[in-house]
Structures are given as structure tokens and as C-alpha cells.
């Protein structure tokens, strides 16, 4: 199955590179600020209109109006923003390089929006509607042409490649991603997160933060499709079993008003839900089309490495 | 007095015998404490003019002002805009004009000025009118406001699916992020806060260059706005937003050539109707008064 093959390649490429990853320092250890003098001043017919502005966790709100919370939810440390003025008749290009809390966070923020065609730039490079995005090391890179044209597309891709070449740390996907069952996994639905606000934008599980998501609780949300039947799988790794147990009881109460660990349960919405615990890992199946799918997904997830 | 009735309760409005036929004019926040059912129908005015935007794409202030007045007059079924404005506001009112300063697509300053001029023209003291967005909680005029006008451009929105009139009041809470869950489903609760409930007398959804899709960290690309050259005006924010949402959905179908639902779903509009009783979201119960050119009105 093509979907699985692609996914396997992605996961294994990431996991195999894990031992090679140096500290999450970006280029030469200086973070996003050290990229500023290295970012190209010209790309195609586009000329840099400034030297690049740096934003921190406070000032980012003045730059990204209404959306900064997404980056902060992934531990954003800083952002380098540079504008490029195009030749006559062409719109500007905006380069935004976000230094995230870790390569896992960079992966996570890239997973927030997986639309678009796949391009071989950075990691998980995507291009849609004049917008290129990818992650590499602890960086999430966005290059946006404010109006689409063939020339703008080429300039966007060229600028993206140039910035990717400046980032020496490849980074690796979060280990939790490797715990996802592969059969029927919809690659474009894989979200990595550790905040309730981000989870809520992808899947609403009701009011309140019953899962206790925090920076120390990596989570993965994925949609599965097997034999035409769908389900969501949510994995959360807690620092200890006690927190996982607490979260399991809370989310089971939310989904089917019962205790966790009893196998799939038919909810009032006519879908099957299940909550289980593998050591410090919470396993939640949400909205499975039938009991078999819910049971299979629950059974296919193991405990975290190290016992959790 | 009709003006006062609109602020207080629907029952008092009915008692006032103003003779205004359109019950639908009673919109947001007008279901009173006695549990009155929401109005059966709402009226929304869609006005479009081919000359609303100049050659540079910027709004033409004079045209915009005329559009506003024509729409408000039509909303109140009068030929005299001044009379319509005087039904909304009068001496003694303190009016906050809740605008929107989002850098990529702000409320046009010319529209803010037009609204302000008409409010003053209705008898409100100039010192009792203010325009604000991010600073409404500290703005002295907003703090003592007896009435609000709510105006913003329609656009796709990262948290709520659509940036709507309903969404525009989120700056009245100290922690807007508290309302981001479930695609901002609970935005209607803000309209039930004591400092807001019953005070929003007019909603102007700017459809001059609406944004029908968003990309990138800034959720904006000029490729996804188009010169619709319109305004949607009504007293019921739910009906105004629901009408605007249908236009955005139609534009997305036209542009993408397929069904591309707004994401996240802007269900806060329907929930504002069904859960919070703020107005009418069912298109079958919205009477749209169409003024101006209607080519490609969607």
C-alpha cells in the first residue's frame, strides 16, 4: 500500500538519523539570530527589502496577528522575518524562520498543516498557493509569495532551498511517531502536539483540559482508514504512569462515561471509543466506525520504550 | 421610544408600538430575561456598488458612506438615512464603534469615519463616540457605552473558520484564547456578557474585498481576496454572518472548482443561534434586501 510505504520511509528516515542528531542548536549553535546574516539578500529577481527582523515570544504578536499562539504552543524561541521585493508586476515574498523548542516541536508545527504538494526541500516540504513550508532541525521555515506566478514559485522554492542549506542539523521526528501503527494510517493526518489548544483545533473532545497536556506530554493524533472505515487514534506519553492513569480515567469518562481499559465502547454518537494505558502511555481510540477497528487500534499500540 | 426598546427587551419594543413591521430587526441580544423566543425572521441588507473600490483597489470613502446610508435606510424601511440613524442612536447615547485593525484586511478607516459621522449626526455628542479594536477594555468611551456598532471585514480565520461580526467582539474579554476551543464555538457567550448584551445595535460586515482562504503564518494572501464591493448590514449579527458565510462558501466552490468546506468549520454562527439565541442562522428565515449590482453576487 503506497500510503504505508511512504510513511515507513518517512519514519525510518527520521528514526535512523536519530543518533546522528547533534544538539538542537540550528546552525552553528546561534539559533535563529545567527541565520540573519546568512540568509540570501537576493533570490531570482527579488531583492531583500530589509536586513531581517527578529521577534521573540512577546514581540511575535505584533508580527503574526492572530496566529502566534500556534508557534508559541510549540515552544517558539524566536522568529526571523525578511521581506523580498519582486520585479515589476510581482508581489513580495515573505520569509519567516521560526526557531522552535526542539526538532520535535518543529516537526509538530509543520504537522499542523499538511496540505499541498510534497517538495524535496528541508523535511516534510510542502508547497501550496505560493506558500512553501518545511521543518529542519529545530526550525520551521515558511516562504510565502503574496501573489502566485511561475517566477514567484521558482523564487520561493529557491529561497527555501537556500535557507535549508544553512541549517546543518537535520533533526528527527519525535519518537512517539514511530509508535503509531502503520496499517491504514493517513500520513497527511498525523499531528504532533503537546497542548490542548492545538488538539482542539484538530479534534474537539469537549470543554476542559482533561488530558493534562503540557510540554512534557508529547501527543500524536492520527486518522486511520481501514477497509473504508475510519477512526482517530490519540497517543499521549506522560512522564509517569500515575498521570497517564489519571488522564485515562478522565477521557474515558468524557467519551463513554465509563472506566478505561474495558475495550471498545459504543458511544451515544453511534461510534466506538476506547481508552487504554500502556505504562505511561495513554491510548485513545475515538470515533471508530466499528468495534473491530477500535479493538485493533487499541491492541496495536505498545508501551513507550523504557517501560514508561 | 423605539431606540430604548431595542436596548432593553423585545417585549417593551412591541409595547412601544413603533409600527416597525420587521420583527427581524430585533437581533442580537434581544431575547430578554423573560425567555422570549428568538425572532421568526431577520432582515439583512446586501448592498454592492461597482464604484466602491477605486482603480488602486482602495475603498472610495464617499461611495462607501453612501452605501452605508442606503443600507441602513433600507434596513429600517425608510427613504431617509438620517431617520434610520436616529432610530438607532440619539442624544444621551455613548457609542463604541467596534472596528478591526487586522493589518492585512482592516475595517476601512473611511467606513469608520462614515459611521462616526452618522452617529454624531443622530445627536450623539462627539465626545461620546469612539472607534477602537484592541483597546476596547481600556477605552473610556467603550467603558461607559450604552450602545455599540460592530464592523469588520469578512475573512477566513485560523481559529474560528471565519472572522465574523460575532467573532469581532472577542476583544471584550481579557483572555480571547479562552474562546478558541472547538473552533470558537462559544463566541456567543461573549454577547451575553452584561457589558455587551443588548447593546450592539448595528452590525456592518465589510464585503468589499472578502478573504475566502488563508495560507501561511499570516493566514493571508492577496490571491484569496476578491473585489466583491459590498456591505452586509443588519441588527442581527447571526443573520449577517450566516449570509456572509454563504457568500464565502460559494466563492470557495467557484475558485477551487470543488466543495472545499471552510476549515475549521465556522459553526460558531449556528451555535450563536441555537445555543445563545442571538439571532437567525437559517437562510430560510433570513430576508435579504439586495441593493445595487448583483452580478456574481454568489
Distance CA A82, CA A84 (A): 7
- HSE on the CB side for A274, CA within 13 Å? 26
Distance of CA B232 to the CA centre of its chain: 7
Nearest to A43 by CA among A142, A163, A158: A158
Structure confidence at residue B11 as a pLDDT band (50, 70, 90): very low
Helix (H, G, I), strand (E, B), or coil: what is residue A286?
strand
DSSP letter at A134? E
Residues in chain B closer than 8 A to A130 (CB atoms): 215, 221, 223
Residue B281 C-alpha, separation from nearest chain A C-alpha, in angstroms: 22
Cβ atoms within 10 Å, residue A28: 12
Interface residue A201 vs chain B (CB under 8 A): yes
* Predicted ipTM of the assembly: 0.72
Flag whether pLDDT at B16 surpasses 80.
no
Interface of A with B in 227-286 (CB under 8 A): none
| Residue burial A132-141, b: 16+ Cβ < 10 Å; e: rest | bbbbbbbbbb
- Looking at every residue in chain B, the average pLDDT score rounds to 88
Report the pLDDT value the prediction gives residue A3, as an integer from 0 to 100: 41
Query: What digits encode the pLDDT tens for the residues B165-191?
Result: 999 999 999 999 889 888 899 999 999
Paired strand residues for A123:
A135
Cβ atoms of residues B281 and B245 within 8 Å: no
Structure confidence at residue A179 as a pLDDT band (50, 70, 90): very high
Interface residue A105 vs chain B (CB under 8 A): no
Q: Are strands A46-48 and A78-85 parallel, antiparallel or unpaired?
A: antiparallel
Flag whether pLDDT at A207 surpasses 90.
no
Flag whether pLDDT at A29 surpasses 70.
no
Residues in chain A closer than 8 A to B104 (CB atoms): 65
Task: Say what percent of chain A tops pLDDT 70.
Answer: 90
Is B107 buried (19+), middle (13-18) or exposed (0-12) by CB count in 10 A? buried
User: Average pLDDT, stretch B55-62?
Assistant: 95
Q: Are strands B147-157 and B95-98 parallel, antiparallel or unpaired?
A: parallel
Q: Which domains does chain A have, with CATH numbers?
A: 22-166 (3.40.1000), 175-300 (no CATH)
Cβ atoms of residues B201 and B21 within 8 Å: no
Widest CA span in chain B? 52
Query: What digits encode the pLDDT tens for the residues B255-265?
Result: 999 888 898 89
- The answer for residues whose C-beta is within 8 angstroms of residue B180's C-beta and 6 or more apart is A69, A197, A200, A201, B159, B160
What DSSP assignment string belongs to B185-240? TTHHHHTTSTTTTTTEEEEEEEEEEEE----TTTT--GGGB----EEEEES-HHHH
Distance CA A250, CA A243 (A): 11
- Phi first, then psi, for residue B211 (nearest 5°) are -105, 125
From residue A306, give the alpha-carbon distance in Å to each of A107, A138, A240, A280, A303. Answer: 23, 25, 11, 10, 8
Residue from A53, A55, A61, A66 to probe the interface with B (highest B Cβ count within 10 Å): A66
DSSP letter at B59? B
Report the pLDDT value the prediction gives residue A206, as an integer from 0 to 100: 81
Residues in chain B closer than 8 A to A69 (CB atoms): 177, 180
User: Average pLDDT, stretch A106-113?
Assistant: 96
Q: Give the nearest partner residue to A144 out of B102, B185, B215, using CB atoms.
A: B215
Flag whether pLDDT at B21 surpasses 70.
no
Cβ atoms of residues A119 and A126 within 8 Å: yes
Cβ atoms of residues B203 and B41 within 8 Å: no
The answer for A21, left when phi > 0, alpha when psi is -120 to 50, beta otherwise, is beta
Query: What digits encode the pLDDT tens for the residues A256-302?
Result: 988 999 999 999 889 999 999 999 999 999 999 999 999 999 999 99
Widest CA span in chain A? 66
Nearest to B247 by CA among B226, B272, B267: B226
Report the pLDDT value the prediction gives residue B38, as an integer from 0 to 100: 52
Cβ atoms of residues B278 and B235 within 8 Å: no
Chain A residue closest to B159 (CA)?
Answer: A201
Q: Give the nearest partner residue to B221 out of A96, A144, A207, using CB atoms.
A: A144
Distance CA B86, CA B93 (A): 11
User: Average pLDDT, stretch A141-168?
Assistant: 95
Interface residue A142 vs chain B (CB under 8 A): yes
Distance of CA B280 to the CA centre of its chain: 13
CB contact under 8 A, A66 and B159: yes
Amino acid at each position: 500500500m503506497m500510503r504505508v510505504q511512504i510513511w515507513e520511509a518517512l519514519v525510518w528516515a527520521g528514526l535512523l538519523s536519530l543518533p546522528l542528531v547533534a544538539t538542537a542548536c540550528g546552525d552553528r549553535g546561534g539559533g535563529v539570530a545567527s541565520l540573519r546574516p546568512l540568509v540570501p539578500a537576493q533570490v531570482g529577481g527579488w531583492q531583500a527589502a530589509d536586513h531581517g527582523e527578529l521577534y521573540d515570544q512577546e514581540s511575535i504578536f505584533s508580527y503574526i496577528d492572530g496566529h502566534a499562539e500556534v508557534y508559541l504552543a510549540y515552544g517558539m524561541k524566536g522568529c526571523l522575518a525578511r521581506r523580498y521585493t519582486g520585479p515589476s508586476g510581482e508581489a513580495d515574498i515573505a520569509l519567516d524562520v521560526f526557531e522552535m523548542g526542539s526538532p520535535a516541536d518543529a516537526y509538530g508545527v509543520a504537522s499542523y498543516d499538511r496540505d499541498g504538494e510534497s517538495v524535496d526541500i528541508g523535511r516534510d516540504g510542502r508547497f501550496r498557493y505560493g506558500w512553501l513550508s518545511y521543518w529542519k532541525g529545530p526550525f520551521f521555515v515558511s516562504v510565502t509569495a503574496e501573489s502566485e506566478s511561475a517566477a514567484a514559485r521558482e523564487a520561493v522554492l529557491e529561497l527555501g532551498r537556500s535557507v535549508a542549506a544553512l541549517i546543518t542539523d537535520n533533526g528527527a521526528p519525535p519518537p512517539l511517531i514511530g509508535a503509531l501503527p502503520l496499517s491504514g494510517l493517513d500520513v497527511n493526518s498525523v499531528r504532533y502536539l503537546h497542548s490542548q489548544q492545538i488538539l482542539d483545533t484538530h479534534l474537539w473532545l469537549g470543554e476542559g483540559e482533561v488530558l493534562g497536556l503540557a510540554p512534557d506530554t508529547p501527543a500524536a493524533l492520527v486518522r486511520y482508514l481501514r477497509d473504508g472505515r475510519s477512526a482517530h487514534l490519540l497517543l499521549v506519553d506522560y512522564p509517569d504512569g500515575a498521570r497517564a492513569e489519571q488522564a485515562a480515567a478522565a477521557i474515558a469518562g468524557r467519551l463513554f462515561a465509563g472506566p478505561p481499559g474495558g475495550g471498545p465502547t459504543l458511544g451515544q454518537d453511534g461510534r466506538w471509543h476506547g481508552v487504554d494505558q500502556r505504562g505511561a502511555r495513554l491510548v485513545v481510540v475515538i470515533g471508530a466506525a466499528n468495534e473491530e477497528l477500535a479493538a485493533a487500534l487499541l491492541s496495536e499500540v505498545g508501551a513507550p520504550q523504557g517501560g514508561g | 421610544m423605539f431606540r430604548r426598546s431595542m436596548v432593553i427587551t423585545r417585549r417593551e419594543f412591541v409595547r412601544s408600538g413603533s409600527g416597525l413591521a420587521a420583527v427581524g430587526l430585533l437581533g442580537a441580544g434581544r431575547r430578554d430575561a423573560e425567555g422570549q423566543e428568538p425572532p421568526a425572521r431577520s432582515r439583512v441588507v446586501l448592498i454592492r456598488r461597482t464604484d466602491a473600490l477605486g482603480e488602486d483597489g482602495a475603498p472610495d470613502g464617499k461611495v462607501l458612506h453612501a452605501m452605508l446610508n442606503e443600507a441602513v435606510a433600507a434596513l429600517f424601511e425608510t427613504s431617509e438615512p438620517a431617520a434610520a440613524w436616529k432610530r438607532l442612536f440619539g442624544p444621551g447615547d455613548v457609542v463604541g464603534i467596534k472596528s478591526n485593525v487586522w493589518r492585512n484586511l482592516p475595517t476601512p478607516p473611511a467606513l469608520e469615519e462614515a459611521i462616526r459621522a452618522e452617529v454624531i449626526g443622530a445627536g450623539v455628542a462627539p465626545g461620546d463616540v469612539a472607534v477602537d479594536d484592541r483597546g476596547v477594555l481600556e477605552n473610556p468611551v467603550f467603558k461607559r457605552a450604552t450602545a455599540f456598532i460592530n464592523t469588520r471585514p469578512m475573512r477566513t480565520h485560523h481559529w474560528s473558520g471565519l472572522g465574523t461580526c460575532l467573532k469581532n467582539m472577542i476583544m471584550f474579554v481579557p483572555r480571547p484564547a479562552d474562546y478558541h476551543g472547538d473552533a470558537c464555538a462559544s463566541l456567543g457567550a461573549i454577547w451575553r456578557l452584561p457589558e455587551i448584551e443588548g447593546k450592539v445595535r448595528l452590525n456592518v460586515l465589510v464585503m468589499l474585498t472578502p478573504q475566502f482562504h488563508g495560507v501561511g503564518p499570516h493566514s493571508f494572501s492577496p490571491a484569496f481576496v476578491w473585489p466583491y464591493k459590498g456591505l452586509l448590514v443588519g441588527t442581527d449579527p447571526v443573520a449577517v454572518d450566516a449570509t456572509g458565510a454563504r457568500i464565502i462558501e460559494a466563492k470557495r466552490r467557484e475558485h477551487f472548482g470543488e466543495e472545499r468546506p471552510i476549515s475549521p468549520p465556522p459553526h460558531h454562527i449556528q451555535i450563536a443561534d441555537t445555543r445563545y439565541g442571538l439571532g437567525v442562522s437559517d437562510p430560510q428565515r433570513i430576508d435579504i434586501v439586495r441593493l445595487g449590482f448583483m452580478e456574481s453576487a454568489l
